[in-house]
Amino acid sequence: MYKLLVTGSAGFVGSHLCIALIKAGHEVVGVDNINSYYDTKLKYSRIKICHEAAAKSTGSYSFREMDLCSYEELIDVFKKEQFDQVFHLAAQAGVRYSIEKPMEYIHSNLDAFSKVMECCRQFNIKHFIYASSSSIYGMNETVPFSEQHPANHPVSLYAATKRSNELLAHSYSHLYRLPSTGLRFFTVYGPWGRPDMAYFSFTKKIFAGETIQVYNHGKMKRDFTYIDDIVESLVRLLEYRPAVVENPNNLPDRSSLAPFRIFNIGNNKPVTLIEFIRLLEKVIGKKAVLEMQGMQAGDVFQTYAEISSLNEAVQFKPSTPFETGLEHFVKWYREYYKPV
């Protein structure tokens, strides 16, 4: 069993990961700054279910509210806890919000990331696993998106910070032999999700009878990936650790000689926005009121993950059908929010 740090533990992916790790018997320390980007009540509810999971299993969970940019406090946590591995999931999310509040992304996604990596170096962390994003592919028109494709032209500040994270991780891996693995998440959805995501906000508006703004006239495509599949891939990475490649002829795809890897994690089955809305209407049992709009600044037309590299590394690929995942989400939404 491992002693693990999960940053962003009050977030969507972070809380689900904590529960899975706790149930597996690991000792988990969660850190989150509980910012007000969306309803903090939902974040505290996630922390509560993590504690409840720990009370029913052999694993343990403790939580600390803090800003990862508080370097001395972060050093204190690493020194006290002596972690084996680190999952860095904390970040300021949201493509459109990055247009309005760019400095929030510099603070949370660059400054905090660099401080966590430096602590990993100082305290000899065995494996640094972090969340990247499919948004780094920008306007790439070659599909499905492969880790081998260039990712040097992001179209949002959020995407630029995530790509910067990957480059910084590579430098640390090369210079300090810090094993690092980045996962490019593709549109994660499911229970306890983020209210700013389309599937969440659309559900809320359908129940309330409010108008949904449908960008690019519903023609955009997204590779929706269910939360349990994301978490399973993260858990499997505990037993996977990138190694230094001594022979360049054995270099894995989209890697380097350093102990560094990047993987896509997506469902490999993109659906159009309008198909998604029709399916959501079916699951909820109520029609949506739609207002068609043009393309939004910072958005990409489609996302579509090529996932063979992840499958080869940890013998896993997502398997949850989109309709099944939506049914699970809507069931949770009804129970948590109790819409009329």
List residues with catalytic annotation.
158
What's the farthest any 2 CA atoms get from each other in the chain? 62
Token duo for residue 103: 């400095």
Are the C-beta atoms of 87 and 5 separated by less than 8 Å? yes
Instruction: Give 41's contacts (C-beta < 8 A, 6+ positions apart).
Output: none
Q: Distance (Å, rounded) from C-alpha 66 to C-alpha 64?
A: 6
Tokens 């590394």: give the residue: 313
Q: Distance (Å, rounded) from C-alpha 332 to C-alpha 190?
A: 9
HSE (side-chain half, CA atoms, 13 Å) at 96:
9
Are the C-beta atoms of 318 and 231 separated by less than 8 Å? no
Scored b (16 or more CB within 10 A) or e, 103-118 reads: ebbbebbbebbbbbbb
Token duo for residue 216: 């690019």
Query: What radius of gyration do the chain's Cα atoms show?
Result: 19
Task: Tell me how far apart the terminal alpha carbons of the chain are, to the nearest angstrom.
Answer: 45
Q: Distance (Å, rounded) from C-alpha 241 to C-alpha 25?
A: 20
Are the C-beta atoms of 113 and 88 separated by less than 8 Å? yes
In angstroms, the Cα distances linking 141 to 136, 157, 187, 211 are 13, 20, 18, 31
Are the C-beta atoms of 286 and 207 separated by less than 8 Å? yes
